[in-house]
Amino acid sequence: MREFSFNTADILSWTETVSAGDIVKLSGVVYTSRDAAHKRIKAAIESGESLPFDLKNAVIYYAGPTPTPDNLPIGSCGPTTSSRMDPYVPLLMNNGLKGMIGKGERDDAVCEAIIKNKGVYLCAVGGAGALAAKCIKSCEVIAYDDLGCESVKKLVLEDFPLIVAIDCRGGNLYK
């Protein structure tokens, strides 16, 4: 097991460096998106509408943060089960998405999309949302405010602890 610190802005330089099982402390911008937002993003891509954020080299965190307490940037922000987003991932990756953060296994189509697009799937520790929130320095709702906790948010992370679950060569902790 190896440990790395990376910034999301440099994702193209490190996705091919990491292997399944590596520990990554991630800093930089990520976007939250869950089922309902993924459905809207898919519809926007298919209809040629503008997206809430640029998918090119983006990282999505499958999370729906709790309400923000006073004097903090965000409430508890743990990962949700990633497999619910599997039907959307190949399309998003083919449109530029490079990284995903969540928990749990992914289907074969997602694994193939990760390899094809030289992406990465990172796992966060489930049940530790309050601790994860300490690594989130800012949170801004950028789209689909009507979805509440499932709205798309722009987060800025600092040393967010993750494990590489699926790498761009097909290494997979779940297999």
Candidates 81, 105, 111; CA nearest to 174 is 105
User: Exposure string (b/e) for 43-78, b if CB count within 10 Å is 16 or more?
Assistant: eebeeeeebbbebebbbbbbbbbeeeeeeebbbbbb
Is there a domain that residue 118 lies in?
yes
% of the chain residues with pLDDT over 90: 88
Residue 172 lies in a domain: no
pLDDT in tens, 49-63: 999 999 999 999 999
- Summarised one tens digit per residue, pLDDT across range 135-146 is 999 999 999 999
**What's the distance, CA 105 to chain centroid?**
14
Q: Does the residue 162 lie in any domain?
A: yes
CATH number of the domain bearing residue 44 = 3.20.130.10
Task: Give the dihedral of Cα atoms 73, 37, 98, 162; nearest 10 deg.
Answer: 40
Select from 2, 168, 169 the least CA-distant residue to 97.
168
171 is a domain residue? no
> What average pLDDT does the chain have?
95
Residue 1 has pLDDT above 80, yes or no: no
Coil, strand or helix at 57? coil
DSSP alpha helix (H) spans, 15-87:
35-47
For residue 27, the model assigns a pLDDT of 98
Residue 4 confidence (pLDDT):
95
Is residue 31 a contact partner of residue 153, using CB atoms and an 8 Å limit? Answer: yes
Q: What is the average per-residue pLDDT within 120-127?
A: 92
Please indicate, yes or no, if residue 10 is contained in any of the structural domains: yes
β-strand partners of 102: 123
The number of residues making up the chain comes to: 175
What pLDDT, on a 0 to 100 scale, did the predictor assign at position 133? 92
Read off the pTM: 0.96
In a domain, 173, yes or no: no
- Choose among 109, 89, 108: nearest CA to 100: 89
Window from 21-25, 76-80, 89-93 with minimum mean pLDDT: 76-80
What is the arithmetic mean of pLDDT over 107-131? 94
Asked whether residue 174 is assigned to any structural domain, the reply reads no
Structurally, how many domains does the chain consist of?
1
Domain of residue 43: give its range: 3-166
Fill in the DSSP letter of residue 104: S
Residue 98: what pLDDT?
98
Instruction: Say if CB 142 and CB 53 are below 8 A apart.
Output: yes
Rounded to whole angstroms, the Cα distance separating 158 from 142 reads 20
Average pLDDT over residues 164-173: 98
